[in-house]
Amino acid sequence: MTESNFTEEWISVSELDIDRAVQRSSYDKGKVERFKRNFNPAALGIITVSRRDRVTLVIIDGMHRTETVRQLTTNEGKVLCHVFTGLTKAEEAQMFLDLNAGTQPTILDKFRVSITAGSETSIYIEKMCHAFGWTISPIQGKGNIQCVATLERIYNLSKKLEAEPDLLQVVLMLVTHAWGHEKENVKAVILEGIAALVAEHGSNLDLEVLERKLKAYPGGAVGLHTDAVTLASMRRGRVGMAVAERLTDEYNKGRKVKSLSPWRRRS
């Protein structure tokens, strides 16, 4: 993307639209209120915009600043914009990610927009979640999952190990078959611990046995999480690794052959 790809124009805020596929999922009302309290037109900066056609102008970066001007001017003010023409939606999404490479958007917003941008990793993760009945959503509730950073780490670990079947598929299958779609079943540390256990033992691990052990675990995912937090405190280690240790012990109960070696990864 070069400077010749955009024009610099003053545009009325009433002409600027939002497409959530290439933007944050919602406004941060508190952020807009802070902008309004400390409003300084000279410090407003430049809004990045995509001209999709003769009448459609979509904000790529500067949504909260635009909304501030909209509210302060009763939708009649103008903002200085860099206007790009001819971008695909994927290019718009990628520009949003590039312009917000810091921490301003939530990781869920970045993940969602990266799908629009065509990220193979994000598309695969969403596809695998859907395959087991999960929806990646910021709303906490049955069937929804938020820990996309953990899902990405599991996916990347699987790629590194060239695991077959891949770790993400195995972990989602295990928690879903054992416990269903309650939100407690997909806490980041639960998924991390199961992934670590599967990665450590590979084909030596009987997944059907592990699934039965998960299903029979006292208190289900909530009980496992509680026990892991206690163990991690004793070990002064990570809760995810304590999940793996607890599951190792449970897996080995009653098995005289083909038991797993004791879990040693305390960090």
* Domain residue ranges of the chain, discontinuous segments joined by +: 3-102, 119-252
Coil, strand or helix: which one is 47?
strand
Count CA atoms closer than 13 A to 181's CA, side-chain side: 14
Nearest to 23 by CA among 102, 117, 86: 117
Q: Give residue 265's pLDDT.
A: 60
CA 102 to chain centre: 15
| DSSP single-letter state for residue 262 | P
Do residues 143 and 181 lie in contact, with contact meaning Cβ atoms separated by under 8 Å?
yes
Kindly report the average pLDDT of the chain as a whole number.
90
Q: Give residue 103's pLDDT.
A: 53
**pLDDT category, 110, cuts 50, 70, 90?**
confident
At the top level of CATH, which class does the domain 3-102 belong to? Answer: alpha beta
Nearest to 234 by CA among 189, 261, 262, 266: 266
pLDDT by residue (tens digit) across 47-57?
999 999 888 99
Degrees, nearest 5: CA angle 220-221-224: 90
Q: What percent of the chain has pLDDT over 70?
A: 96
> Position of tokens 């599951």?
247
Which of 243-246's residues contact partners 24+ apart within 8 Å by CB, and which partners?
Answer: 243/189, 243/190, 243/192, 243/193, 243/194, 243/196, 243/197, 244/193, 244/194, 244/196, 244/197, 244/200, 246/193
pLDDT by residue (tens digit) across 232-254?
999 888 999 999 999 999 999 98
Q: What percent of the chain has pLDDT over 90?
A: 63
Residues in the chain: 267
**pLDDT category, 255, cuts 50, 70, 90?**
confident
H or E element at residue 120:
helix 120-131
Q: Give residue 2's pLDDT.
A: 43
Q: Give residue 106's pLDDT.
A: 79
